[in-house]
Amino acid sequence: MRLQPAILSGGAGTRLWPLSREAYPKQFLPLVGQQTMLQQTVARLDGLSDEHPHHGIAMADPLVVCNESHRFLVAEQLMEAGREAAAIILEPVGRNTAPALTLAALAAVREGEDPILIAMPADHVVADLNAFHRAVAEGCLLASEGAVITFGIVPAGPETGYGYILRGAPRKQADTACRLERFVEKPDRDTAAHYVVSGDYLWNSGIFMLRAGRWLGLIERFRPDIAEACREAYSRAKADLDFCRVDAQAFRDCPSDSIDYAVMERLSAESSGDALVLPLDAGWSDVGAWCALWDVGERDEADNVVHGDVFVYEGRGNLIYAQSRMVAGVGVEGLIVVETPDAVLVVDKEHTQDVKAVTGYLKAARRQECEFHRRVHRPWGTYEPVDGGPRYQVKRLTVKPGASLSLQLHHHRAEHWIVVSGTARVTRDDEVFLVSENQSTYIPIGTRHRLENPGTIPLELIEVQSGSYLGEDDIVRLEDKYNRTSPESRL
């Protein structure tokens, strides 16, 4: 059996603001451990074939489906983890999980194969990998026989932030797998407590297993509009460096729906018994809110979870996260405090699901704190503001070894570059020259220019911009090694 991981990396993680932002959401952050959540997801099935050789499971490189604006983050983090993707499929807009899995299934059957897909969101935590592997191995056998499986998490308590699954009778006597009766929306506290006491309900993990061809047949039957739009978008896909860029207009016309609503609920209503739920007790969390990070974090003797330069005195049951400065808590209890260079969040642990109200406010006010961190990531490196005022702006740029910015020009601003460390190769109209540490150069308005790092260490420099308009959209790209001169590319 060939097992094809399909990693769905489209979430925005708004309830983990200010650490998670639209341009750099939670799946790209090392929230639990040293690796990012995406990297942990890619590695989650490592060793499965060796642990269960009698199942005959052959692992394939993962398919990753992500928003096109995150493509370089995905590629860079896979490279850092020493992994390769079977494909990185780019969505021009988010359309929920059913279209994303359809694109992955189309890619999986492209060469005439029909592997078993395991659809895994890129922003989950699984603490017990052995238990997870046992459940996946069992799911492979069921999926090979035509079953459609979702994994239901054995609840640790009356959680109101998760949807639930009602499980029915076992598929066969003494089987672990049960018939999937129905999905239940996120309940209130009393209803969740009833679910847990009954023993009949599991948390909805959002992890699914079935053959790729089976998914395509089901989405065609239950949501032919989604199937048609995805087939059209994928058939007109173009290669963009190492990415698969589906047709933008065709995919924008695709309806938005989840795997649960589009297929699983409809299939479970039939009498075929093909829709199954496998219980999973493996220390799972979707880290959907700040209280989940307190749950999985390492606590001190007063049940505080701290990260960074933090001091707590006479405080209990807090999560305090400091990113850029010292944070002290005195006599506080049950709080989440998160500090980043441009924002501070303070919230009672009982209200962490309401953090999305903050991102809603920021979006309505068109504030950049909703989308970007202070440090903005680009395929060539990062930049962050240092100072600014009328007609000037100062930034710190870090250019990765071997990377280069596009050949570009500006209509409204001039730039002055001062190299702090490393060596820069500068193109200025017809000139090409090197600028070393403590040296500088000037780029007049309207001048074609490019900045490159030819060295083996990061290039650090200070950029001083001056002019009548300093917006990021005053960039005319003439050439770009990352294919960002196309109209589809917004980075």
CATH class of 376-479: mainly beta
Predicted pLDDT at 491: 58
φ, ψ at 442 (rounded to 5°) = -125, 135
φ, ψ at 287 (rounded to 5°) = 40, 50
Predicted pLDDT at 160: 85
Predicted pLDDT at 195: 92
DSSP E strand stretches across 390-430: 392-399, 407-409, 413-421, 424-428
Q: How many angstroms separate the CA atoms of 425 and 455, rounded?
A: 9
Per-residue pLDDT band at 51 (split at 50, 70, 90):
confident
Question: Is residue 306 pLDDT above 80, yes or no?
Answer: yes
Predicted pLDDT at 166: 94
Query: What does the mean pLDDT of the chain come to?
Result: 93
Predicted pLDDT at 19: 95
Question: Is residue 489 pLDDT above 60, yes or no?
Answer: no
Return the domain boundaries, the chain: 2-285, 290-361, 376-479
Predicted pLDDT at 415: 97
What is the length of the chain? 491
Predicted pLDDT at 375: 93
Give me the residue label for tokens 């709080």: 335
Distance (Å) of CA 425 to CA 76, 179, 293, 396, 477: 23, 63, 43, 17, 18
Q: How many angstroms separate the CA atoms of 147 and 293, rounded?
A: 34
What's the whole-number mean pLDDT along residues 335-360? 95
What's the whole-number mean pLDDT along residues 473-485? 91
Amino acid in the structure at residue 255: P
What's the whole-number mean pLDDT along residues 66-82? 94
The tens digit of pLDDT for each residue in 125-161 reads 999 999 999 999 999 999 999 999 999 999 988 988 8
The tens digit of pLDDT for each residue in 415-443 reads 999 999 999 999 999 999 999 999 999 99
Q: Which residues pair with 154 in a beta bridge?
A: none
Tokens matching residue 220: 């065609």
The tens digit of pLDDT for each residue in 382-398 reads 999 999 999 999 999 99
Whole-prediction pTM value?
Answer: 0.91
Predicted pLDDT at 173: 65
Virtual torsion, Cα 233, 238, 240, 245, nearest 10 deg: 0
User: What's the CATH architecture for 2-285?
Assistant: Alpha-Beta Complex (3.90)
